[in-house]
């Protein structure tokens, strides 16, 4: 299986994304970023048992001294107390400013370890080694790091770009089906916001993706990362087009927050959020009704939820009102004009939104 290499073009902070099977064992990919010879591997117990040894053997072979920091598994642990524990472990391990954080795991580990790297001693370098589909197509790329607050998803964080993303697609062999399917939500998102041809390819190849066909997964990961890298290079700090990557997320983050972190997986919440965004786009006459149905059909076929939980409209609006994209008290949403063409709506019409959320 070939190795694909992409670049996130950010001037002197540009970095590679390597995608392929067996990459966690490839010393040559890690060594250029480990000149200091010191690292901490931040991971959780689930991932450590499955994939910790191979990464740590690679670090050792590269002549790197490292210690392992374990965080508890689960979205509900992407929080301040866990981060504080990580800082304590880094201090006990005498990590210094040249110590490289290696984030080994899914998006929860990547976001929290990345934020630890962004803030420990005012910032240390880090490498992303994503092990879920969702992390390989989305969260490991682009430098958004952070933790949740009880009042809102990802409300505390920093932009901090990694030195490299090393996506070993063989780690996905051990991923539970529900997690693989959750990752497909973000893959579908890229097609929906930017690339109709890719969207049609996902429709045609959905069974191969769900069956973990290595070539299909490699293509889905590479194309998703290409789209994300292109958008991040245009707008690293989300002053404009990067917000398009948030299709479905304002609804989705509200579901995650209101239902309790970890009840709905992030990808599941985003999937339903994309259906709601498409329904609203159709109600507003922006998106052809047939295209809203087409997106919903693909999401359903992928095994993802298309109906939100029952939540009071006030609760929806309060949670959505705390989204980071909002300005001056108005809810910003990403809507669809066509499949493959998303747009930022800075003033989502309140009446239509309320009608949608109350099922009218």
Instruction: Name the residues that contact ligand NAD, by CB under 6 A.
Output: 44, 46-47, 50-51, 73, 75, 78, 105-109, 111, 131-132, 134-135, 138-139, 142, 144, 154, 171, 174-175, 179, 182, 266-267
What does the block give as tokens for 197? Answer: 């041809």
242 a catalytic residue: yes
Report how far apart the first and last C-alpha atoms of the chain are (Å, whole number): 50
The answer to the question of residue 266 lying near ligand GLY (CB under 6 A) is no
The answer to the question of residue 257 lying near ligand GLY (CB under 6 A) is no
Q: What's 349's DSSP letter?
A: -
Beta carbon of residue 242, minimum distance to ligand GLY (angstroms, whole number): 5
When CB distances are held under 5 to 8 angstroms depending on the partner's kind, the choice from ligand NAD, ligand GLY, none that residue 175 binds is: ligand NAD
Q: Which of 186, 236, 296, 345 is catalytic?
A: 186
The answer to the question of residue 153 lying near ligand GLY (CB under 6 A) is no
Strands 4-8 and 15-20: antiparallel
Identify the residue whose tokens are 């607050």. Answer: 149
Q: Which of 144, 160, 194, 279 is catalytic?
A: 144
The answer to the question of residue 248 lying near ligand GLY (CB under 6 A) is no
Give CA angle at 340 (336, 265), nearest 5°.
70
Q: Which of residues 105, 106, 110, 142 is near ligand GLY by CB under 6 A?
A: 142
266 a catalytic residue: yes
The CB density around residue 343, as the number of other CB atoms within 10 Å, is 17
The answer to the question of residue 245 lying near ligand GLY (CB under 6 A) is yes
Give CA angle at 128 (125, 133), nearest 5°.
165
197 alpha carbon, distance to own chain's centre: 22
Q: What's 172's DSSP letter?
A: G
Q: Which of 68, 144, 76, 85 is nearest to 111 (CA)?
A: 144
What does the block give as tokens for 47? Answer: 């991932």
The answer to the question of residue 165 lying near ligand GLY (CB under 6 A) is no
Instruction: Give the residue with the Cβ less far from ligand GLY, 99 or 140.
Output: 140
246 a catalytic residue: yes
Q: Catalogue the active-site residues.
A: 122, 144, 186, 228, 238, 242, 246, 249, 253, 266
The binding site for ligand GLY (CB under 6 A) comprises 138, 142, 144, 242, 245-246
């Amino acid at each position: 299986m070939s190795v694909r290499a992409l670049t996130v073009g950010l001037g002197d902070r540009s970095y590679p994304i390597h995608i392929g099977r067996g990459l966690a064992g490839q010393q040559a990919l890690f060594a250029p970023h480990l000149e200091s010879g010191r690292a901490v591997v931040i991971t959780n117990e689930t991932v450590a048992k499955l994939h910790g040894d191979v990464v740590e053997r690679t670090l050792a072979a590269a002549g790197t001294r490292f210690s392992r920091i374990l965080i508890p598994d689960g979205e509900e642990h992407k929080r301040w107390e866990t981060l504080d524990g990580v800082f304590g472990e880094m201090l006990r391990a005498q990590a210094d400013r040249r110590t490289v954080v290696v984030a080994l795991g899914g998006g929860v580990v990547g976001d929290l370890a990345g934020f630890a790297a962004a803030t420990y001693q005012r910032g240390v370098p880090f490498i992303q080694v994503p092990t879920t589909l969702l992390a390989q197509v989305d969260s490991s790329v682009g430098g958004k790091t952070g933790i949740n607050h009880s009042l809102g998803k990802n409300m505390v964080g920093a932009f901090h770009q990694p030195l490299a993303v090393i996506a070993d697609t063989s780690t996905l062999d051990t991923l539970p089906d529900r997690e693989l399917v959750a990752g497909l939500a973000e893959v579908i998102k890229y097609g929906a916001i930017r690339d109709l041809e890719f969207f049609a390819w996902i429709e045609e190849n959905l069974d191969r993706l769900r069956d973990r066909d290595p070539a299909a997964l490699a293509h889905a990961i590479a194309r998703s990362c290409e789209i994300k890298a292109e958008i991040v290079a245009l707008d690293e700090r989300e002053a404009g087009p990067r917000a398009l990557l948030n299709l479905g997320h304002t609804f989705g983050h509200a579901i995650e927050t209101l239902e309790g972190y970890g009840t709905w997986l992030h990808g599941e919440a985003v999937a339903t959020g994309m259906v709601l965004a498409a329904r609203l786009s159709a109600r507003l006459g922006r998106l052809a009704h047939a295209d809203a149905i087409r997106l919903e059909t693909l999401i359903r076929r992928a095994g993802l939820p298309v109906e939100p939980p029952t939540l009071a409209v006030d609760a929806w609006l309060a949670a959505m009102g705390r989204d980071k994209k909002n300005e001056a008290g108005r809810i910003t949403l990403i809507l669809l004009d066509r499949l493959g063409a998303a747009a930022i709506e800075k003033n989502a019409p309140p009446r239509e939104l309320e009608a949608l959320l109350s099922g009218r």
